[in-house]
Structure 1
């Protein structure tokens, strides 16, 4: 977390500039190739790396207009009544319940970091009576917030490998068990996440999980931090090691969240962001959040004076990805994350990490036709306190597709900059996005599945939960339309209940209407659709299809969602 490393970096400010010039490691030799295999699907696009710790505050910090394009996936925010004063702040900020509506509008779920109820970091332990009283107060405040639907985890402690006061509080494993049991006595629904070590450590993880299994307090999601320089190199090994420990102990697989990533010397280098994006997508991370090295409410330094910095544009290109993440094979330090949207017929590659003249080889483009238009853009490398109003377009050219492939030269690369290759058919490219896949949307208390008949190969099912704000199941579509007007929304679905099923429909915080899905006969088989009318504003809108949600009594039967199409 913040203060420990901020103090260190302030103390060494005279050498930090030197560190930045060599970290992260990047190739100086040119002639490398990043390979993109469009036909090899990794997973649906969910913008795994688009998150942050203390990334949003109340009011206009940051403005929603800057949040929307990033398609925020996840946040870690202070708990109800949080008192943490991070990075020189003079008053607490960013209370997770106070920002819940704003976060939901941007599509993000959030963890509540419970020890940030304390004002100091490292935390100053008082007593078990004090801590348990605080836990009860935080949990009750959340239970009272019946309109907050985006709280998907209690983070019981933060970086216990060095912030837990063993002398005063006893062993962390025992403290975990005691706190876990207290929360479960108050809230049996909200997931519990941990252990939130500051670094991944095999022995610590074995000790923690062994105790957690023996005491029936295994976290619902596993969390650790990746904050050391070049730590993205180790993500694959850490994930593999964790999965092996999990299997050896007979623990069912848990989602993994890296809810702090990137060191102070990395966080403002756009190409480093690309490396993290790529490895998190490649190795099955559920969510990941930029570390909190700066003032809160700046999207972790992506904004300066509420305007984009260079790194913002790397995340904006990543936010533009839709459809499926597809395979990328790095060449030396030339790394990238790529998506293919089969409905809109475009490939979006975000890359960086090498200098000089390099190449991107893209295979599997046959569906885009015999020729494609390739637009190459780049970020600047100007750091935290310099704004970049827009990406720099480097080139735009038409390429002939040969054997389903093209090779695009990317010359004079800056190893710190991020680049985007946007590949579309040479003619007939969509002017605005009309189809939105359910699996790319914000999916709450439901799950993503594969189906050959589904648009883009995936759908959302098990949208079954009703009851209260913790268990309601819904899908939130963040859409961007060109005009304020009524749109016809076509909903692709499946319903094998043998009778009509219904969902609630609401958008932009408005009232509820009912969508009825006639029986289709088979689960996971798509082709059926229904039409409804929605009145949308020019620009960004949030559309919710819900089995259950605050203010809505609940749908009937069950239905699976494939995609929505606006026309």
Structure 2
């Protein structure tokens, strides 16, 4: 059941209170960082990275042996061009082993010199932070010993090494920003000693760091923070900037309802924080699917990045408690917007917003409520569903109450309050949906496993904390009893895991009918959840939906059914877009969809994050008072008010920029299934190969073969001849696979590699594209690259002179601005 504006259930709703008059200071956006969040330049994509406005990330030094990618200088170009803040360099990740091999301080110091020289020579050296030691309380030193005398010996050894390394860094980079001590947790005895020593010896870090990794941190962090600030005051230090440079556990990452609990406490205290690195580099700690596709966690952080103005005080039902309803809120008086992000608990809640300023909002507000659901670590999530859009009267005491009913524990919710103005907002249209847990279904030859509980916080998240695995027998199946309200087509969403080594199938049947195969792409492991979407026709009433073993084992977590009401569509509200320049906000009318209008003038720009379920053409309509210009994939097109455009979108997120001479814009509306009508497609067999590149037969490739052994030599190329009907900007979509890995022997990280290819059109300059690992040599993903083609024959050549390119299955090209059907 989805939250509605209806009456409460029998139990009293929880109450979360927001006080718009109690400012906590400007929104910091400090809690959106990640350790090894970037894997390579382009992983994640610019379109996935830029919208999140990330303030800090942590990466290894250039050439570090801890992992095969994620080098700080290599990813810095991507990070900085997408508006990133600062990069923490984990200097000890120069070592290969975990815990780091202890070869003595004399072995470490030349490495410190080399790392510092590299960073100091970078044009953006002022945006790097040196972290000389990582978790020194248990790596190289024993700083948590209960025996005081033994502790002091270890402590003093660390202090001597800290001072030595600190001076080595400063000798090379006098303006270096140094962070530490970077313990595994918060240890007040050691911190008191460390700060006393560092102050006396003039080797204080400029940024204080420690880790908060257990579920208990949701309860204890506020006490840690308060204790630390009191310690600073007592010693006459700081206040120093704080970066909790590793936070959260596997069960938290990708889960909006978990993430809101962490982010709210960090933002409230204005500290910076980076999510931990438990799995593979390059997905922002589990928030990005493949390279460019949002999951539910990504949308939560996109909401967080959209908060402006000041944060304001939020009082949850149970402050500083594990796995409970928590939230954060902001007020931007200049934009006349208040936002509340909340989640972490199931059931009903009343969000009570106090001290709503009449001078900003007037006597009524429009309350827009949306949900970012959990879709798995690798499960795609469309633009969050708007659940309700309602005009509410501000009470005489300045209070507005927004009721949410039937909340999901794993979801996060956003409430946006804007002035009500005249008219009536269009009610949100929410299709019927229901979900069914695999562990509650009838299971044959399978086993229920418990995942991601507080007592097993480093386990992967699962819906309802359980899933069904070991479905590896011929008779293995799960029978779900479902009930739907009417005849029609339903979208079946299957949360699954597939560690079988390649695409795996199950047999889907309804009421014992003829089975049809469902194919599941590979995932990192059995519990690293992805989502498969399938359409099925059902008649009104009860049915048994069966998923039985096919050619390999698949783990099942949950299925969801949603009534299909037409082609997918979303309305992206202009007042919530990213802006530059000085546009104004007009809330005089709340009629229709949208929270008001954004008024663009010359020099202003609004950027919309537009989701596409697949590569292809979609219908885009500007709801504006005058023509606007849209820029997408380097192409600019004029959009007349209310008139459809046919634009090519890549799977996942697309950044669409809007400018105008003078236009009042309510929304950008996008609909469609991703049509490929009018695109150009070429299978691997049509390419001319040279220099060792070869055509390889494969049952999993779309045309029965792929191009392998491509690259690793200047002469190894694949050349496609492309006939373009018109000159202009096209999207080249490459369907590829590769599963190159380098096992660095780390205890728990999966060290996947990316591959690159240089793409050349005719005799032009090559474009380098990065292709993320697809988890299997037989699983094909897509990557979109904008190219310019002339009318008629063009050659598109793939190569890589110094390394292997991915295996290429096929290519497809579509003009960015397509022709509308007549």
Alpha carbons of 1:317 and 1:137: their partners in 2 closer, same or farther (altered >3 Å)? Answer: same
The answer to whether the 8 A contact 2:254-2:298 is kept is no
**Which residue among 115, 123, 137 is the counterpart of 1:161?**
137
Q: Offset of 1:58 from its aligned partner?
A: 2.1
- Check if 1:539 corresponds to 2:533: no
| In structure 1, C-alpha distance between the alignment counterparts of 2:27 and 2:41, rounded to whole Å | 29
| In structure 1, C-alpha distance between the alignment counterparts of 2:176 and 2:11, rounded to whole Å | 50
Q: How big is each residue's C-alpha offset from its partner over 1:255-279, in whole Å with a ceiling of 9 and x where there is no partner? A: 1111111022222331221111111
2:258 equivalent in structure 1: 272
1:334 equivalent in structure 2: 325
| In structure 1, C-alpha distance between the alignment counterparts of 2:329 and 2:581, rounded to whole Å | 17
Q: Offset of 1:211 from its aligned partner?
A: 2.2
Q: Offset of 1:412 from its aligned partner?
A: 0.3
Q: Offset of 1:130 from its aligned partner?
A: 2.1
1:143 equivalent in structure 2: 120
2:377 equivalent in structure 1: 384
SS at match of 1:162: coil
Larger fraction in strand: 2
The answer to whether the 8 A contact 2:208-2:240 is kept is yes
| In structure 1, C-alpha distance between the alignment counterparts of 2:164 and 2:64, rounded to whole Å | 21
Alpha carbons of 1:432 and 1:387: their partners in 2 closer, same or farther (altered >3 Å)? Answer: closer
Alpha carbons of 1:437 and 1:250: their partners in 2 closer, same or farther (altered >3 Å)? Answer: farther
**Which residue among 83, 101, 104 is the counterpart of 2:77?**
101
Alpha carbons of 1:418 and 1:200: their partners in 2 closer, same or farther (altered >3 Å)? Answer: same
Question: Tell me, which stretches of 5 or more residues in structure 2 are unaligned?
Answer: 1-9, 143-152, 319-323, 423-572, 583-597, 606-654, 660-822
1:401 equivalent in structure 2: 394
| In structure 1, C-alpha distance between the alignment counterparts of 2:155 and 2:121, rounded to whole Å | 29
SS at match of 1:225: strand
Q: Offset of 1:292 from its aligned partner?
A: 0.8
The answer to whether the 8 A contact 2:105-2:161 is kept is no
SS at match of 1:110: strand
| In structure 2, C-alpha distance between the alignment counterparts of 1:283 and 1:318, rounded to whole Å | 15
**Alignment length (residue pairs):** 416
Alpha carbons of 1:395 and 1:176: their partners in 2 closer, same or farther (altered >3 Å)? Answer: same
Q: How big is each residue's C-alpha offset from its partner over 1:214-257, in whole Å with a ceiling of 9 and x where there is no partner? A: 32211111000100113122121111111222223232321111
C-alpha RMSD over aligned residues: 2.8
The answer to whether the 8 A contact 2:179-2:209 is kept is yes
SS at match of 1:295: coil
| In structure 1, C-alpha distance between the alignment counterparts of 2:233 and 2:276, rounded to whole Å | 29
SS at match of 1:159: coil
After alignment, is 380-389 or 396-405 more displaced?
380-389
1:517 equivalent in structure 2: none
- Check if 1:208 corresponds to 2:324: no
TM-score, normalised on structure 2?
A: 0.48
| In structure 1, C-alpha distance between the alignment counterparts of 2:581 and 2:228, rounded to whole Å | 31
The answer to whether the 8 A contact 2:579-2:604 is kept is no
| In structure 2, C-alpha distance between the alignment counterparts of 1:369 and 1:60, rounded to whole Å | 45
| In structure 1, C-alpha distance between the alignment counterparts of 2:97 and 2:27, rounded to whole Å | 38
**Which residue among 116, 120, 130 is the counterpart of 2:97?**
120
- Check if 1:185 corresponds to 2:171: yes
Alpha carbons of 1:482 and 1:131: their partners in 2 closer, same or farther (altered >3 Å)? Answer: farther
Q: How big is each residue's C-alpha offset from its partner over 1:110-146, in whole Å with a ceiling of 9 and x where there is no partner? A: 1111101112211012233321110111111112212
Q: Offset of 1:168 from its aligned partner?
A: 11
Q: Which has the higher contact order (CA 8 A, sep 6+)?
A: 1
**Which residue among 217, 221, 226 is the counterpart of 1:235?**
221
- Check if 1:356 corresponds to 2:332: no
The answer to whether the 8 A contact 1:270-1:379 is kept is yes
- Check if 1:345 corresponds to 2:336: yes
| In structure 2, C-alpha distance between the alignment counterparts of 1:161 and 1:434, rounded to whole Å | 42
- Check if 1:417 corresponds to 2:411: yes
SS at match of 1:237: helix
SS at match of 1:326: strand
| In structure 2, C-alpha distance between the alignment counterparts of 1:437 and 1:48, rounded to whole Å | 24
Q: Offset of 1:364 from its aligned partner?
A: 2.4
1:37 equivalent in structure 2: 19
After alignment, is 292-301 or 226-235 more displaced?
226-235
SS at match of 1:267: coil
1:262 equivalent in structure 2: 248
| In structure 1, C-alpha distance between the alignment counterparts of 2:354 and 2:49, rounded to whole Å | 33
| In structure 2, C-alpha distance between the alignment counterparts of 1:113 and 1:284, rounded to whole Å | 23
Q: Offset of 1:383 from its aligned partner?
A: 2.6
Q: How big is each residue's C-alpha offset from its partner over 1:463-509, in whole Å with a ceiling of 9 and x where there is no partner? A: xxxxxxxxxxxxxxxxxx999x96169xxxxxxxxxxxxxxxxxxxx
Q: Offset of 1:435 from its aligned partner?
A: 6.6
| In structure 1, C-alpha distance between the alignment counterparts of 2:299 and 2:604, rounded to whole Å | 32
Alpha carbons of 1:250 and 1:437: their partners in 2 closer, same or farther (altered >3 Å)? Answer: farther
| In structure 1, C-alpha distance between the alignment counterparts of 2:604 and 2:413, rounded to whole Å | 36
1:248 equivalent in structure 2: 234
Q: Offset of 1:437 from its aligned partner?
A: 10
The answer to whether the 8 A contact 1:38-1:362 is kept is yes
| In structure 1, C-alpha distance between the alignment counterparts of 2:77 and 2:186, rounded to whole Å | 33
- Structure 1 or 2, whichever has the larger Rg, is 2
The answer to whether the 8 A contact 1:104-1:150 is kept is no
Alpha carbons of 1:340 and 1:71: their partners in 2 closer, same or farther (altered >3 Å)? Answer: same
| In structure 2, C-alpha distance between the alignment counterparts of 1:430 and 1:379, rounded to whole Å | 19
Instruction: Map 1:491-506; keep pairs closer than 5 Å.
Output: none
| In structure 2, C-alpha distance between the alignment counterparts of 1:540 and 1:106, rounded to whole Å | 18
SS at match of 2:74: coil
Structure 1's consecutive aligned runs of 4 or more residues displaced over 3 angstroms after TM superposition are 165-170, 427-438
| In structure 2, C-alpha distance between the alignment counterparts of 1:170 and 1:128, rounded to whole Å | 14
TM-score, normalised on structure 1?
A: 0.69
2:42 equivalent in structure 1: 60
| In structure 2, C-alpha distance between the alignment counterparts of 1:540 and 1:293, rounded to whole Å | 38
Alpha carbons of 1:71 and 1:434: their partners in 2 closer, same or farther (altered >3 Å)? Answer: closer
Q: Offset of 1:395 from its aligned partner?
A: 1.3
The answer to whether the 8 A contact 2:136-2:181 is kept is yes
The answer to whether the 8 A contact 2:207-2:243 is kept is yes
Q: Offset of 1:77 from its aligned partner?
A: 1.2
SS at match of 2:72: coil
Q: Offset of 1:148 from its aligned partner?
A: 4.8
1:290 equivalent in structure 2: 275
Alpha carbons of 1:82 and 1:72: their partners in 2 closer, same or farther (altered >3 Å)? Answer: same
SS at match of 2:350: strand
1:77 equivalent in structure 2: 59
Larger fraction in helix: 1
The answer to whether the 8 A contact 1:52-1:76 is kept is yes
